[in-house]
């Protein structure tokens, strides 16, 4: 074989091997959605088995004024870079969902976005399946608050409920707010049109499950492992759940913080808060309590799996991700 023939053969072989890689690149979204991290992270805490799943993520191409609506843009961008969160041009938020196994009960805390908002969200049912859990296995669903990325996954686009055998639970104050004739967004930084879209979507979902819906109050203990706590501001009935077993506990702080930037700068706030100033007050209170108690936290939107601690150094709070070495299982 002469040099020209050898070169031609080499190019043909190279081309043959590049075709599959091009195919993989073209299907990158599907590869990401079917990734290994969707099987869920197991956290064993005495007699409780907790699983943390990904429902996807939300990429904000213009994070301001959604975040820090009253803050200087240069200061905001500088803080994002300082915290290694990208810059002011984009901000990526996780959607983490907690599941609890307690005896014969399989309890889901929130249900993610569902298949209503594009391919980057709504991964939960596939994640559950990879973790060996069918939607029909879920016995109970607790709703922390009624924003779309927490209740959208309860109902499919065709109107069918996703968890046919479950009972649903929500704080009465939260339900009454959303289902009233005119939910009050006067203390929010959210625009009227966006607020109206949120209201209509929430009412549609809650109406679909109303026949299987029960109400809970605050400072209640449910199923001998869940303690409810009001953390108002983000919504009027925004609920924090503390899961406990003997001497161990995890506090699911849900949407108190959507990003590490709100831990470091809690007063910057977000337009998503129904009561902007009250949300800041709640954020600061939980920061102080969590830092002083060294409480292990789980968050819906901090980097997956959303498990970690609040640290205070030189008067500033920061997020410390839980030091998990085993990517599949944590034993507390």
Domain spans in the chain, listed from the N-terminal domain onward: 1-33, 39-331
Please choose, from the candidates 203, 217, 192, 189, the residue with its C-alpha nearest in 3D space to the C-alpha of residue 275: 189
Q: Region 130-134: what's the mean pLDDT?
A: 93
Whole-number Cα distances in Å, 184 to 43, 148, 171, 234? 39, 17, 17, 13
Going by C-alpha positions, the residue among 112, 174, 168, 121 that lies closest to residue 142 is 168
pLDDT tens figures, 137-178: 999 999 999 999 999 999 999 999 999 999 999 999 999 999
Average pLDDT of span 203-231: 97
Per-residue pLDDT at 121 = 93
Task: Please list the residues that pair with 214 across neighbouring strands.
Answer: 169
Q: What is the pLDDT of residues 230-268, one digit of tens each?
A: 999 999 999 999 999 999 999 999 999 999 999 999 999
Residue 4 is inside which H or E element, if any? helix 3-26
**Pair 100, 225: CB distance under 8 Å:** yes
Which tens digit of pLDDT belongs to each residue from 194-209? Answer: 999 999 999 999 999 9
pLDDT value at residue 87 = 72
**Confidence at 39, pLDDT banded by 50, 70, 90:** low
- Whether residue 10 has pLDDT greater than 80: no
Report yes or no: 130 and 174 within 8 Å, Cβ to Cβ.
no
CB 100 within 8 A of CB 45: no
User: Residue 113 above 60 pLDDT?
Assistant: yes
Q: What is the pLDDT of residue 189?
A: 96
Domain 39-331 is found in CATH 3.40.50.720: no
pLDDT in tens, 11-36: 333 333 333 333 333 344 443 444 44
User: Tens of pLDDT along 58-107?
Assistant: 999 999 999 999 999 999 999 999 999 987 788 999 999 999 999 999 99
- Taking CA atoms, 122 is separated from 111, 128, 153, 264, in Å, by 9, 11, 7, 29
Q: Is the pLDDT of residue 180 over 90?
A: yes
d(CA 290, CA 292): 6
Q: What is the pLDDT of residues 298-320, one digit of tens each?
A: 999 999 999 999 999 999 999 99
């Amino acid at each position: 074989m002469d040099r020209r023939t050898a070169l031609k053969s080499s190019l043909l072989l190279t081309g043959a091997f590049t075709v599959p890689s091009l195919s993989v690149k073209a299907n990158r979204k599907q590869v990401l959605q079917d990734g290994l991290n969707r099987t869920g992270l197991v956290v064993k805490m005495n007699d409780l088995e907790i699983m943390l799943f990904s429902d996807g993520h939300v990429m904000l191409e213009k994070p301001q004024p959604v975040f820090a609506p009253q803050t200087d843009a240069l200061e905001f961008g500088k803080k994002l870079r300082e915290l290694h969160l990208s810059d002011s041009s984009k901000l990526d938020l996780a959607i983490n969902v907690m599941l609890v196994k307690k005896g014969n009960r399989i309890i889901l805390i929130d249900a993610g976005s569902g298949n209503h908002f594009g391919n980057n969200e709504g991964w939960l049912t596939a994640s559950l399946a990879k973790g060996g859990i069918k939607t029909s296995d879920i016995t109970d669903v607790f709703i922390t608050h009624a924003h779309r990325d927490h209740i959208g996954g309860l109902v499919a686009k065709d109107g069918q409920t996703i968890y046919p055998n479950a009972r649903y639970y929500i704080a009465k104050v939260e339900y009454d707010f959303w289902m009233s004739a005119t939910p009050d967004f006067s203390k929010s930084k959210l625009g009227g049109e966006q607020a109206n879209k949120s209201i209509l979507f929430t009412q549609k979902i809650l109406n679909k499950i109303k026949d299987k819906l029960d109400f809970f109050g605050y400072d209640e203990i449910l199923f001998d492992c869940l303690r409810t706590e009001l953390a108002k501001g983000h919504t009027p009935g925004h609920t924090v759940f503390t899961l406990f077993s003997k001497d161990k506990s995890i506090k699911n702080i849900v949407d108190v913080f959507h990003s590490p930037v709100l831990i470091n700068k809690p007063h910057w706030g977000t337009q998503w808060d129904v009561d902007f100033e009250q949300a800041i007050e709640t954020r600061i209170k939980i920061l102080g309590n969590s830092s002083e108690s060294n409480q292990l936290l789980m968050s819906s939107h901090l980097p997956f799996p959303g498990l970690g601690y609040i640290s205070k150094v030189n008067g500033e709070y920061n997020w410390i991700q839980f030091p998990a070495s085993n990517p599949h299982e944590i034993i507390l």
